[in-house]
Amino acid sequence: MFRFETSGRGDAAVLALFGNLDALSADALKAEVVRLSESKTNIATVVVDMSALELLDSTGVGVLISLFKRMRTKNGSALFAGLEAQPREIFRLLRLERSLDLVATVDEALAKSMPK
Amino acid sequence: MAWLVATDGKLSGRRYSLDAPCLVGRGPYNHVVLDDTRISRQHAKISPEAGGHVVYDLNSANGTYVNHMQVRRQKLAPGDQIRFGPFSFRFETELQEETRRVAAGGRQKFVEVATLVGTEARIVESLDAKAASKPGFSTGLDELEDAGRKLQALYAFMQSIASTLDPAGLYDRILAHVLNVFVGADNAVLYLPSSDSGKMEPRKLLGRSGASIAPYPIPDSFYDQLVVDRRALLSSPVTAISAAASRGDATPTGISMHAPMLSGDAVQGVLHVQAATTVDPAFTQGDLDLLTGIAAQAALALQNVRLHQESLKQQRLKQDLSLAVEIQKSFLPQSLPVVQGLEFIAEYRPAFSVGGDFYDLFSLAEHELGICIGDVSGKGVSAALLMARVCSDIHAAALLEREPARTLWRANRMLCERRKTDLFVTAIYLALNTETHDIVLGNAGHLPPLIRRSSGKIDRVEGGASTAIGLFENAEYEQIRLRLEPGDSLVLCTDGVLEATSERGEQFGFERLEASILAGGARPQELVKRLNEDLSRHVGAAPQYDDMTLIVCGRQAT
C-alpha cells in the first residue's frame, strides 16, 4: 500500500510518503509532484519526508528526481528527509547523495530552507 | 500516351491511363479495380518501359491473355486485345499532338515544377556496372575519396540524425546533409512509398538556395526498378529535346543519383540527388558509394522514427509488442567475442516479453573489448525503447572516448539531452585489455561487480561508482582499474538476479549470490551452471518479476 500526505508550512510544503512507492503507485504521486512544482504555486521548497517509506523502486526514484528537477527549474528546491533501510540503500546505490540534498529530519530540512 | 480501354461489360468505354505503371486486380488499391471472384486481388500490371508498354501477369489464378494467348510477360502493340478473367480491354496509343495536351495538366507530382513532354529518365550507369571510378570534378568531394573521409561524412550524418524522433525534422536533416556533402548537387529529393499504393512518391524536396533548376520527373517505372534491383543508379534525362525546344521550354538537363534506402529486406524510400550540370560528370563513383551509405543510414533512422511512433501508439494501447521483442533482440550481441585465454558467457532473461536490461560486448581496438551491462528503470515497452537507445548511445560513446568514465559521461549527456520521461539507467561499462587483462571500469549507479579470485575469495568492486545515467546532465563519472589474474572470473549482473524472490518472499541477495559463485568453481561455464541451479532452487514456482542478465568473463588458469 502507498499513500502520501501534503502539508504546508509557510512557503514550504512537506510531502510525507508512506508504504511502498513502486511502479504500481508512482503514477498517483506523479500528479502531486506536478501540482506542487507548478510555476503558479508559491511553494519554494518541498521537503519529502521518507521516514515512513518502506520500499522504493526505480520508478519511484524517477518520480522523486522529477520533483527535484521541476523545483530547481522554478528556482525552488526539494529536500529529502529521513531515509532509512531500503530507500536509503537504493539512494546510495544510485549515488544520488551527490546531487540531492539529503537531511536527517523534516525539521532540519525546514531549518535549512529558511532564508538566512 | 497510352490507354487501357474497356471493351465490354459494365466498364465498357472506360479509359485508364498507362503513363505510369498500372495495377489491375480485385483489391481496392489497384488502378483498375475489377470486382469479380475470377480476378485475383493483384492480377496484372502494365508498365511503360523503354520503347513501349509491357503487361505482366502477377501470378493470377486465372491468367492474363493478350490476343487470346495466355501470357506472363508481353509487350503490347496498339490495338492488342487484353483479357483478365471475364473482362476485355484494348490497348491504345495516341499521337504526339494528343500527348502534349494531356501532359500539360498531367501526372506531374512535383509542385511548381515544369513538366516536359516525353521526358524520361534513363539509367546511364549503375553502381556495379561502373567499376572504373572517374576522377571527381565539380563536387569538391575529391578529398572525400579516401575511405576515412567518407566514414567521417557518414559519421557526421549519423550524429546529426541520431537524436531526431519526428519524421518531418528527419526528412529535412537528411536532405540538408545530402546537399552539404554533395556540393555539386542542386536538389535533393526524398521519395517515400505512398501509404495506399506503396509506390515511391516524392515527399520532400530541398533545393540549394538560389538555384533555379527544376527536377526532371522520374517515371514510376524507374523507381519500381530501383526497388527491385536494390542498388544505386545514375540517371540523366532523355528527352524529346526538339519537342521541348519548339515549344520554347527549357530543355531538361542534368544528372541524378538515386539510392534506395534499404534496411534489412525493406526499401524504406529513395534518395534522389540532382545536379544541373551537363558538361562535367557532376557525380563520381565515389559519390554514388557515399550516397549508398548515407541512404542506408537514413533508412535506419527512418525505421527508428517509425518504430518510436509505433511504440508510442502501442504504449497507449497498453499492448506488448512482439515487434519490440525482435528489435530488442537485435540490440543484444548476436555472438560473444572469441579471445584466446578468455571465456565469456552472457545470459539474458526478460521477465515479460520485452525488458529493460541490456548488455553488449564489442571490439574497441585490437586487444581491447568494451563490455557493458545495464538496467533501465521501469518495465515494458517504454523501458525497452529506452534500452535500445542507451545501448547504441553507450556503444557510440565508447567509440568516441577512450576512458570508461568519459564514455559514461557522454552517454549520460546524450540521454539527458533528449530525456522526456522519469526513466533512467544504471550501467557498468568497462574496457578490457585482452593481452594484459587490465580492466578500466566505470559504474553508473549499478550493482557492484564481483570478481571471483582464483584463491577462492570474492571481491565486491565498490569503486569507480557514480550516479545513474539520465538523471543529472552535469553528473561526473569515475572509473577504477582492476586486473584479472589467471583463474579469476568477473561477474556482472542486474538486480533481477539479486532480487529473484522465493515463494516465501525472500530475495536471493548478495550473500547467496556470492556463495553460489564461490561454490561454482573457477570455470565460467560451471560457475554459471551452478548459479542457475541455485537461482531456480531459490525461486521455485514463484513468478519472475524482473529481467535477469548475467555476464561472466573468466581468465583461464595457467
Chain B contact present for A8, CB below 8 A = no
Beta bridge partners of A17: A4
The x, y and z cell numbers of residue B353, run together, are: 516479453
pLDDT in tens, B379-394: 666 777 778 778 888 8
User: What is the C-alpha end-to-end distance of chain B, expressed in Å?
Assistant: 80
Q: Is the pLDDT of residue B112 over 60?
A: no
Alpha-carbon distance of B321 to B425, in angstroms, equals: 22
Task: Answer for the pair A100, A46: CB distance below 8 angstroms, yes or no.
Answer: no
Nearest CA in chain A to B467: A95
CB contacts, 8 Å: B426 with chain A: 58, 93-94
Q: At A10, give phi and psi (nearest 5°).
A: 65, -135
Closest CA to B481 of B447, B430, B441, B436: B441
Burial code (b: 16+ CB inside 10 Å, e: under 16) for B335-347 equals: eeeebeebbbbbe
Residues of B whose CB is below 8 A from A66: 422
What does the pLDDT read at residue B103? 35
All residues at 6 or more sequence positions from B496 whose CB lies less than 8 Å from its CB, including other chains: B349, B351, B357, B375, B544, B545, B546, B547, B548, B549
Three-state SS for chain A is CEEEEEEEECCEEEEEEEEEECCCCHHHHHHHHHHHCCCCCCCCEEEEEEEEEEEECHHHHHHHHHHHHHHHHCCCEEEEECCCHHHHHHHHHCCHHHCCEEECCHHHHHHHHCCC
Q: Do A98 and B475 touch (CB under 8 A)?
A: yes
User: Dihedral through CA B143, CA B145, CA B146, CA B147, nearest 10?
Assistant: 130
| More confidently predicted of B386 and B161 | B386
Model pTM? 0.51
Q: Would you say residue B166 has pLDDT above 70? A: yes
What is the per-residue pLDDT across B188-222, written as a single tens digit (0 to 9) for each?
A: 888 888 877 777 888 888 877 655 455 556 666 67
3-class state of residue B223 by DSSP: helix
Look-up: residue for cell 575511405?
B147
Instruction: Check whether B104 has a pLDDT greater than 60.
Output: no
Beta-bridge partner residues of B260: B270
pLDDT tens-digit readout, B471-528: 888 889 999 999 999 999 999 999 888 888 888 888 898 899 999 999 988 889 999 9
Predicted pLDDT at B277:
65
Distance CA B540, CA B332 (A): 28
Three-state DSSP class for B8? coil
Query: Does B77 have pLDDT greater than 80?
Result: yes
CB-CB neighbours of B122 under 10 Å: 12
Summarize pLDDT for A16-71 with one digit per residue, the tens: 999 888 877 888 888 888 888 887 777 888 999 999 998 888 888 888 988 998 88
CB B423 to CB A96 under 8 A? no
- Identify the pLDDT of residue B243: 41
Q: Residue range B221-230: average pLDDT?
A: 72
Query: What pLDDT does residue B220 have?
Result: 66
Quote the pLDDT of residue B429. 95
Nearest to A95 among B421, B445, B447 (CB): B445
pLDDT of residue B281: 61
Query: Average pLDDT, stretch B520-538?
Result: 90
- As given in the structure block, the three cell numbers for residue B22 are 498500372
Q: What is the pLDDT of residues B240-259, one digit of tens each?
A: 333 444 445 455 566 778 88
CB A84 within 8 A of CB A103: no
User: In degrees rounded to 5, what are phi and psi of residue B197?
Assistant: -95, -20
Stretch B8-20: mean pLDDT: 81
Q: Do A65 and B422 touch (CB under 8 A)?
A: yes
Residues B35-54 have pLDDT tens digits of: 888 999 889 999 888 778 89
Dig out the grid coordinates for B386 from the structure.
529506452
What is the residue-averaged pLDDT of chain B?
A: 77
pLDDT in tens, A65-115: 889 988 888 888 889 998 888 888 888 888 888 888 888 888 888 887 765
Q: Has residue B149 got a pLDDT over 70?
A: no
What is residue B97's predicted lDDT score, i.e. its pLDDT? 31
pLDDT for the residue B147: 54
ipTM for the complex? 0.75
Find, among B321, B469, B453, B499, the residue nearest to B407 by Cα: B469
Q: With an 8 Å Cβ cutoff, are B471 and A66 in contact?
A: no
Pairs across A and B, CB distance < 8 A: 50
Site from B379, B422, B498, B545 to mutate, A interface, most A CB atoms within 10 angstroms: B422
> pLDDT digits over B285-318, tens only?
777 878 888 888 888 888 888 877 777 766 655 4
Which residue do the cell numbers 519526428 mark?
B166
C-alpha distances in angstroms, B72 versus B20, B60, B91, B390?
19, 10, 17, 51
The pLDDT value recorded for residue B138 is: 35
